[in-house]
Structure formats: structure tokens, C-alpha cells
Amino acid sequence: MAILEVEHIQKSFDRTEVLKDINFSLEQGQVLAIIGPSGGGKTTLLRCLNFLETPDQGVIRVNGSVLFDADDPATRSESQIRRKRLHFGLVFQSFNLFPQYTALENVRLAPELLAKERPDYHANKAAIHEEIEANARGLLAQIGLADRMNSYPHQLSGGQCQRVAIARALALHPDILCFDEPTSALDPELTGEVLRVIRALADKRTTMIIVTHEMAFARDVASQVLFIDGGRICEQGAPQEVFQNPREERTRQFLSRFAQE
Amino acid sequence: MELILEQLPVVVGALNTGFLQTLRLFFITLLGAFPLGLVIAFGSMSRIRLLSLSARFLIWIIRGTPLMIQLLIIYYFPGLVLHSPIWGGGESGRFLAASISFVLNYACYFSEIYRGGIQSVPVGQQEAGLVLGMTRHQIFFRVTLLQMVKRIVPPISNEVITLVKDTSLARIIALQEVIWAGQAFMKGSHGISGAIWPLFFTAVYYLIFNGILTVLLARLEKKLDYFRI
Ligand SMILES: Nc1ncnc2c1ncn2[C@@H]1O[C@H](COP(=O)(O)OP(=O)(O)OP(=O)(O)O)[C@@H](O)[C@H]1O
Ligand SMILES: [Mg+2]
């Protein structure tokens, strides 16, 4: 069974239709790369999955259960959305780390706040915090920042900030981790360290959706590629097919522009 | 010079009493204007049009007219025009009227500073919190608030320093603050008359108090220096 099923997602801002009938599904442990020209709707799609935007139509299912159905008002209630968001993680292009917290505190904050909602929180407070702390330290070590845990975001490079942001998202154990152009805000020499972290996650079979302009990386890491243009999925398939033998003219044009660069 | 030294203890005693009233007005204004400013700020940002328009209208009126005129109107209007002197007579009535004028005036200035502070926090901070499953309440108190405070401390500090000096405007309704106390020695008070130096001497009080405030506010700013936004 697919971990994620997206059916007939449609989204308009005012009168412009930004997403038109988006359908795809994703298996556990797969990596989906989303490519396409600027303004195509890639960010909007990720924002819909993370409930930062509400689709006008469509259904989103995770592990077979309906998370969102535009026709069912019960799935749209604000109070439920917060919990549903936790199925997804989102890493932003601009990191959005909390500047007043250290790297470690950034990773720890959300799990600590969520733990307070556990029924056994008061009974096991110390143990719960210890576990969260250990998990956060482990994640920071895993992304290679064991020695920068107590640094504030302004003391870290862009690449280090983005790695902390990845650890922060992982700390909540999302089913599906989404990335919106995770290296676009970085100096070219810093993209490598972030891509290496994402690649390591792929090797550990983390289910991910990655919007990216790094074509070589997408081809390498993805199990499936979506090419989105003008709010539609123009082409989808295995990376070899989409990159080597694109069926659509538009995909070909888009890819040839990248080949020239 | 000898005369001044002779008069000094009496003058300082009277000025101290006056300055106590100055301090009272200063602290009451801050105590009232800090929270009221936040209410007006949220009002001016409200999606309810009537609310935001009323808040902005109030801010326009208060910031567009001199505080001195606001003081005069608030103090004299009920008694002279409406024939219902709600403030009561004497020093306590004047103090009440002055406090209300100052709180209202400073709340409007603070509200604009708050609004700038709130709007200057990037939406990405809020979105990052939402995606991490935080409630709006948690996001405000654990993420946004401190960034906002860091931004507003310098402009609020300016207003606070200005407020110290603005309290002297309450002299216009004869509130017995430090300027009033200094001026009294010209007409005659405590057996001294025709002395103008006590009035000049009040400047020392403002200087010392503002000096202390400047140090304290700089310390607060420094405390928030550990992160950048
Ligand atoms: N909040 C919004 N209000 C109105 N229009 C919006 C909004 N957000 C996005 N759009 C529009 O929707 C379209 C798709 O935007 P989106 O950011 O999803 O594209 P994208 O594929 O992520 O582009 P890029 O590669 O530049 O990041 C654009 O035309 C954009 O102007
Ligand atoms: Mg985008």
C-alpha cells in the first residue's frame, strides 16, 4: 500500500489556478523528486501537503487513511490539522530556524512541546526529556554538527543552518519529509554538504519529496520524478525515463536548458 | 552663592516632593500604556474593519495633536463644557486627568512600535512553527515574542526617555510635579521668593533619572544581543 496518495488536488489563488488536478502516489521508502520551471506550482503543492495552504479540491491519504478531503468538512477542522501536519515534515528554502535558540534547542523545542500533551508526561517527565535530548543530540551528530550544538543560527553557515533544519524536521519522525529547494539559498560550495545529508537519508529509506533544481542529484537519488509545469504534472516516471527519454516536448525543453548551464 | 547654599536644603526638599509626583506619573504611564498599546496594536491590525479603522483613527488623533492640548481638553472639557467635573478637585483630580492623558497618548505611540515589531517577524517563523505541530499560542510565546521584543526595545527606549521629559507638560494643569515645585520659588514658597535658580536646578533631576534609565535600557538591549534577527 502506498504511504501517500494524492488525488485530484486543485488549488487557486483568487482566480488563478495554480494546481490543476494533481495525482500521484508514493511508496514507503521512496524518494520523489519534483522538478519544473519557476511558478509551476511546486512550492504550492508542498504547502498543501503540509496544510499551510488548503486545496480547493482533492483528497490526501496517508497510509490509507484520509487526511484531507475537500468535500468532507470534518477533515478540514483547524483543531485536527495540527496533528495531521505531523505526518509531514517540511524543510524550507530559507531554513526558518528560530534565531533565539541554539541548534540543539531548535531541534528539541517542538518535541518538548508535543510531549506535554502525552498522558504520561507528568509521571515520566524526566525520562521523556532525557529521551528527547538524546534523540536531538543523535540527530545533530548524524548530520555532522555534534560540535556546533550550542551555536546560534547566526553563528552557523547557510549549509549548517539547513542541516539543523533537517534535523529539526526529523526530530518529529514524520512519515514523509518534504524539501522545498533546500539548496537554492546556499552558496554553491555549500550545497554539497546538504545534499550529502539528504542522500544519506535516502540510503536509510526515508520517504521524501524533494523539490529541486539540482538535476544530477534528482536523477541520482530519486525513485520517481514529477515534472510540473503550469500547475499540471506534465510527465512522471522513473528518473532514467524522465531524464534520458522524456516523452513530452516541454520536459525536453526544460531539461535542455539545464544541460546547457 | 552663599544665599543659594543657605536655600539649598529647603529647595531640594520641595523639589524632591515634586519629583516624586513626576515619578508617579512616569510609572503609571508606563504601567498603563504598555498593555493598552498592545490592545490598540491588535485593534489596528484586526480583520474587523470597524475595529481597525477606529484604532487607526484614534492613533491619528492622538499622534496628530500636541500632548499639551490633549491634557487641557481631558482636564477642562468635562467641567467647563459638560458641567460635570468628573476629575474632582485638587491634586488627586489633576493627577487622575494627567495619568489618563499620558496613558492614552503613550499607548498610541507604543501601539505603532508594537505593530512594526509584530509585522517585522518573517512569516517563515510562524510557518516553521506550524509545520512542527506547534499551536498558535506556542508559536507566539516561544518563537515570535522574543524576536518582537528584540526589535522594539530600541524604539521603546527612546519613548521612555522622552516620557521622562514629557511629564513636565502636566505643569499646564498645575500638577505639582518638579517643574511646578521649582517655579513656586519665584512667586514665593517655603519662605523663599524671587529665586529662579530652583527652576533651573530641576534639570539636574531629569538628567540623573534619564542617566539611570539609559544605563538600564542599554543593559536590556545587551541582554538580547546573544541572537540576531
Ligand atoms: N499566496 C499566493 N497568492 C497568490 N498567488 C500565489 C501565492 N503563492 C503562489 N502564488 C502563485 O502561484 C504560482 C505557483 O507558485 P509556486 O511558488 O508554487 O511555484 P514554484 O513552482 O514553487 O516556483 P519556484 O521554482 O519559483 O519556486 C505562481 O504563479 C505564484 O505567483
Ligand atoms: Mg518554489
Using the predicted structure, report yes or no on whether residue A259 has a pLDDT greater than 80: no
Place B3 in a pLDDT band, splitting at 50, 70 and 90: confident
Residue of A90, A100, A152 lying closest to B146 (CB–CB): A100
The verdict on a CB contact (< 8 Å) between B122 and A85 is no
Using the predicted structure, report yes or no on whether residue A7 has a pLDDT greater than 90: yes
* 3-state class (DSSP) for residue A180: strand
* 3-state class (DSSP) for residue A42: helix
Using the predicted structure, report yes or no on whether residue A113 has a pLDDT greater than 70: yes
Q: What whole-number distance in Å separates Cα of residue A167 and Cα of residue A139?
A: 6
> For residue range B124-153, what is the model confidence (pLDDT) as tens digits?
999 999 999 999 999 999 999 999 999 999
Using the predicted structure, report yes or no on whether residue B8 has a pLDDT greater than 80: yes
Partners of A229 in beta bridges:
A232
Q: How is chain B split into domains, by residue range?
A: 7-227
The verdict on a CB contact (< 8 Å) between B146 and A172 is no
Q: What is the mean pLDDT of chain A?
A: 95
Average pLDDT over residues A1-16: 94
Average pLDDT over residues A231-249: 94
Residue nearest to atom 26 of ligand 1 (CA): A38
> For residue range A144-187, what is the model confidence (pLDDT) as tens digits?
999 999 999 999 999 999 999 999 999 999 999 999 999 999 99
Supply the pLDDT for residue A261: 60
| pTM: predicted TM-score of the whole model, two decimal places | 0.89
User: Which residue in B154, B145, B166, B134 sits closest to B38, CA to CA?
Assistant: B145
Partners of A224 in beta bridges:
A32
Q: What whole-number distance in Å separates Cα of residue A197 and Cα of residue A189?
A: 15
Q: Which parts of B65-89 fold into alpha helices (H)? A: 67-76
A48: left (phi over 0), alpha (psi -120 to 50) or beta: alpha
> How many beta-carbon pairs under 8 angstroms link A with B?
63
Which residues have CB under 8 Å from A140's CB, separation 6+? A103, A104, A107, A146, A148, A149, A164, A167
Residue nearest to atom 12 of ligand 1 (CA): A18
Using the predicted structure, report yes or no on whether residue B174 has a pLDDT greater than 70: yes
CB-CB contact of A218 with A35 (8 Å): yes
Give how far Cα A174 sits from Cα of A111, A124, A163, Å. Answer: 12, 23, 16
The verdict on a CB contact (< 8 Å) between B128 and A52 is no
Which residues have CB under 8 Å from B38's CB, separation 6+? B110, B111, B114
The verdict on a CB contact (< 8 Å) between A85 and B130 is yes
Question: Chain A: nearest CA to B222, how far in angstroms?
Answer: 14
Average pLDDT over residues A72-92: 90
Of A54-68, B9-23, B98-112, B189-203, which range is least confident? Answer: B189-203
Q: What whole-number distance in Å separates Cα of residue A47 and Cα of residue A92?
A: 10
* 3-state class (DSSP) for residue B115: helix
Supply the pLDDT for residue A148: 97
User: Could you tell me the distance, in angstroms and rounded to a whole number, from the CA of residue A190 to the centre of ligand 1?
Assistant: 26
CB-CB contact of A30 with A225 (8 Å): no
> For residue range B29-46, what is the model confidence (pLDDT) as tens digits?
999 999 999 999 999 999
Q: What whole-number distance in Å separates Cα of residue A58 and Cα of residue B98?
A: 61
Residue-range domains of chain A with CATH: 4-98+174-260 (3.40.50.300)
Average pLDDT over residues A80-108: 96
> For residue range B183-217, what is the model confidence (pLDDT) as tens digits?
999 998 888 888 899 999 999 999 999 999 999 99
B144 touches chain A (CB under 8 A): no
Kindly provide the residue ranges of all beta strands, DSSP E only, lying in A151-223, ordered along the sequence: 176-180, 208-211
User: Which residue in A89, A106, A90 sits closest to A154, CA to CA?
Assistant: A106
Using the predicted structure, report yes or no on whether residue A1 has a pLDDT greater than 80: no
Supply the pLDDT for residue A260: 66
CB-CB contact of A8 with A71 (8 Å): no
Average pLDDT over residues B67-83: 91
B134 touches chain A (CB under 8 A): yes
> For residue range A18-34, what is the model confidence (pLDDT) as tens digits?
999 999 999 999 999 99
CATH number for the B7-227 domain, one of 1.10.10.60, 3.30.565.10, 1.10.3720.10, 3.50.50.60? 1.10.3720.10
Using the predicted structure, report yes or no on whether residue B226 has a pLDDT greater than 90: yes
Place B65 in a pLDDT band, splitting at 50, 70 and 90: very high
The verdict on a CB contact (< 8 Å) between A172 and B133 is yes
User: Could you tell me the distance, in angstroms and rounded to a whole number, from the CA of residue A18 to the centre of ligand 1?
Assistant: 7
Any idea which ligand is nearest the CA of A54? Answer: 1
Q: Is A44 in the pocket of ligand 1 (CB under 6 A)?
A: yes
Q: Which helix (H) or strand (E) covers residue A26, if one does?
A: strand A16-26
Average pLDDT over residues A247-252: 92
Question: Chain B: nearest CA to A140, how far in angstroms?
Answer: 17
User: Could you tell me the distance, in angstroms and rounded to a whole number, from the CA of residue A93 to the centre of ligand 1?
Assistant: 14
* Phi (first) and psi of residue B166, to 5 degrees: -65, -25
Using the predicted structure, report yes or no on whether residue A217 has a pLDDT greater than 70: yes
